[in-house]
Amino acid sequence: MQAVAAAPGKSPPRRVGRARLTTADSLGRTGLDLFIKYGFDHVTVEDIAEAEGIGRRTFFRYFSSKNDLPWGDFDGLLLRMRSRLAQAPAETPLFDALRESVVDFNRFPHDEVPFLRQRMTVLLTTPTLVAHSALRYQAWRRVVAEFVAERLGVARDSHMAITLGQVCLGISLSAYEEWLVDDSLVLADLISGGFHDVRAVFAY
Amino acid sequence: MQAVAAAPGKSPPRRVGRARLTTADSLGRTGLDLFIKYGFDHVTVEDIAEAEGIGRRTFFRYFSSKNDLPWGDFDGLLLRMRSRLAQAPAETPLFDALRESVVDFNRFPHDEVPFLRQRMTVLLTTPTLVAHSALRYQAWRRVVAEFVAERLGVARDSHMAITLGQVCLGISLSAYEEWLVDDSLVLADLISGGFHDVRAVFAY
DNA sequence: ATAGTATTGGCACAGAGTGTCGATGAGAAG
DNA sequence: CTTCTCATCGACACTCTGTGCCAATACTAT
């Protein structure tokens, strides 16, 4: 199901105990395929477990809920975003630092784009997942807010920091929404354009 | 449980058939009280139904889900927002039209503020409801996007319209977040301040 | 082989949400 | 007053998610 060797730096293969039957990655792809094929609401956890050859109970040891499956390794995404923000030179204005970080965060290798498209289609068009994703977005916004807070020398829960976290997320989501309906658009351009659109309206 | 007479313009009292045992309004307050008292997750639908003196099955005829209860009459809120936007003079710049509309939308009579605070506390601090509310926010953003689209003469699903809907929502939510943690702050000031904060960063 | 250990999966349970259908009760018609 | 009509109610059974518990399994080290 997945021939990829364990990436270096990951947890080393267990030394003792029964070997795992699968991986979160493999299970995630199996589930996502089923969601795309039959629709999220028409696939039960039992269906996914059966397709992967594991028990229903075991499914919940890889993903804490059915809703969590499509996001995959979200903690990795958060690290990715943090690293993009950290790369911004201190002399770059905050607007540009945020814009460039968000744009870079959403750059993916060409061969991963079709998969990203599938994943985001499921995430943004399934009501259950639109709702659940709000919890994930909270964590992403916090990363942005912490960066803003540090840059401006204010508290990480200050109004300014929280607000800019919200705004960056909003710009990202609207870009994705647009991107999903038009194959020919480039995600990075849409995000950058969103930042400039907001500037155009807010600084009339 | 509620001595308020049916508001004019509402559906007239049924002419035939068995009379209703309660109203969505009364049931909503009963549920919200329980949520505040014991926490959303510790209250079952059966608890609410029993407190209201109805059957569990009947609860779902008043609210399509437990998650829907705390929002109450959301369609009314959407109408309220639409009307605020419609009041904006055509010559007002878009930034000010949005800012003033969002601010006005969130003005409430003094005596309703404590109740609003309770409601928003439950909605914004309960993970299940944070997630579910994303579905309600979609509709609110659409109202803003339609206004923007009309103002700018672009499609209602254009990138600009969608983005500004997202940004207005983000500013509102961050204002609420701030408002809930500090009793002394004024919601309207926080929202207006949020608009100006974004402007300050985006138009450096 | 045996001991130790991590993973697995079966079972039972709580709770949300839904379809079905008979019971209820209030106004309307006679 | 009696009967009819019909919206509302609630009981029952069912699916599905998510969780606690615990014994079976399978791998490594000694």
Q: Do residues B126 and B88 share a domain?
A: yes
What's the domain range around B46?
Answer: 24-68
Instruction: Say if CB A129 and CB A123 are below 8 A apart.
Output: yes
Predicted pLDDT of residue B17: 85
Does residue A5 belong to any structural domain of this protein? Answer: no
B23 touches strand D (CB under 7 A): no
Instruction: Please check whether strand C approaches the CB of B12 to within 7 Å.
Output: no
Residue A151, SS3?
Answer: helix
CATH classification at residue A145? 1.10.357.10
Report pLDDT for A14.
64
Residue that finishes a domain, picked among B68, B98, B130: B68
Same domain, A156 and A85: yes
Number of domain units in chain B: 2
**Strand D footprint nucleotides (protein C-beta < 7 Å):** 5-13, 15-21, 24-29
Whether residue B46 lies inside any domain: the answer is: yes
* Chain A: closest CA distance from residue B149 (Å): 13
Is A97 contained in some domain? yes
Using CB atoms, pick whichever of B127, B159, B170 lies closest to residue A135. Answer: B127
Mutate to test the interface with B, among A141, A144, A167, A181 (most CBs of B within 10 A): A167
Closest chain A residue to B142 measured between Cα atoms?
A174
Domain shared by A47 and A142, yes or no: no
User: Are A64 and A96 in a shared domain?
Assistant: no
* Strand D close residues, chain A 24-63, CB < 7 angstroms: 43-46, 56-57, 60
For residues A187-204, give the mean pLDDT. Answer: 96
Contacts across the A-B interface (CB distance below 8 Å): 115
Which of A165, A198, A204 faces B167 most closely, judged by CB atoms?
A198
User: What percentage of chain A carries pLDDT values higher than 90?
Assistant: 91
Cβ contact, residue pair B195, A202, below 8 Å:
yes
* pLDDT at position A3 over 80: no
Q: What is the distance, to the nearest Å, from the Cα of residue A50 to the centroid of all Cα atoms in its chain? A: 27
Nearest CA in chain B to A93: B204
Distance A17 CA to D24 C1' (A): 13
pLDDT tens figures, A142-182: 999 999 999 999 999 999 999 999 999 999 999 999 999 99
> Where do the H-state alpha helices sit in B13-126?
24-38, 45-52, 56-62, 74-86, 94-105, 113-125
* Residue A13 CB in 7 A reach of strand D: no
State whether the beta carbon of A57 lies below 7 angstroms from any atom of strand C.
Answer: yes
> Which position has the higher pLDDT, A61 or B7?
A61
Say whether both A169 and A187 belong to one domain.
Answer: yes
pLDDT of residue A146: 98
When pLDDT is cut at 50, 70 and 90, the band that residue A1 belongs to is very low
Instruction: Give the angle B185-B78-A41 at the CA atoms, nearest 5°.
Output: 105
Q: Are residues A107 and A159 in the same domain?
A: yes
Residue B8: predicted pLDDT:
36
How far apart are the C-alpha atoms of A181 and A190, rounded to whole Å? 12
- Using DSSP's 3-state secondary structure scheme, residue B182 falls into coil
Are A96 and A180 found together in one domain?
yes
DSSP A17-57: SPPPS--HHHHHHHHHHHHHHH-GGG--HHHHHHHHTS-HH
Domain co-membership, A80 together with A170:
yes
Q: Please give the pLDDT value at position B73.
A: 87
Q: Side chain identity at A33, as an amino acid letter?
A: D
Name the residue among A134, A135, A203 with its Cβ closest to that of B199: A203
CB contact under 8 Å between B175 and A159, yes or no, is yes
Tell me if A127 is assigned to some domain: yes
Does one domain contain both A32 and A78?
no
Which CATH number is A52's domain given? 1.10.10.60
Reported as a single tens digit per residue, the pLDDT across A11-57 is: 556 679 999 999 999 999 999 999 999 999 999 999 999 999 999 99
pLDDT, residue B204, reads: 79
Q: Is residue A135 part of a domain?
A: yes
CA of A9 to C1' of D22 (A): 34
What is the mean pLDDT, run by run of 10 residues, along chain B of 204 residues?
Answer: 35 74 97 98 98 98 98 93 97 98 97 95 98 98 98 98 98 98 96 98 92
Residue contact A159–B198, C-beta within 8 A: no
Strand C nucleotides within a 7 Å radius of protein CB atoms: 4-12, 14-20, 23-28
Cβ-based burial of A202 (10 A; exposed 0-12, middle 13-18, buried ≥19): buried
Whether CB of B8 is under 7 Å from strand D: the answer is: no
Confidence (pLDDT) at A6: 34
**CB of B37 under 7 A from strand D?**
no
Sign of CA dihedral B31, B35, B40, B41: negative
Using the beta-carbon criterion (under 8 Å), do B163 and A198 form an inter-chain contact? yes
pLDDT score, position A108: 95
- The reply to whether the CB atom of residue A4 sits less than 7 A from any atom in nucleic acid chain D is no
DSSP string, A102-137: HHHHT---GGGHHHHHHHHHHHHH-HHHHHHHHHHH
Looking at the partner chain, which of A135, A166, A177 has a beta carbon nearest the beta carbon of B173?
A: A166
Rounded CA separation A68/A133 (Å): 9
Shared-domain flag, residues A44 and A86: no
Q: Which nucleotide is nearest to A43 (CA to C1')?
A: D16
**Type of residue numbered A160:** M
Residues A99 and A115 in one domain: yes
Last residue of a domain, which of B33, B68, B103?
A: B68
Is residue B52 in a domain?
A: yes
Instruction: Identify the pLDDT of residue B9.
Output: 36
Distance of CA A201 to the CA centre of its chain: 28
For residue B104, the distance in angstroms to the closest alpha carbon of chain A comes to 19
Among B135, B165, B203, the residue with its CB nearest the CB of A131 is B135
Residue B192 maps to a domain: yes
Same-domain check for residues A56 and A136: no
Is B46 (CB) below 7 Å from strand C? Answer: yes
B19 within some domain: no
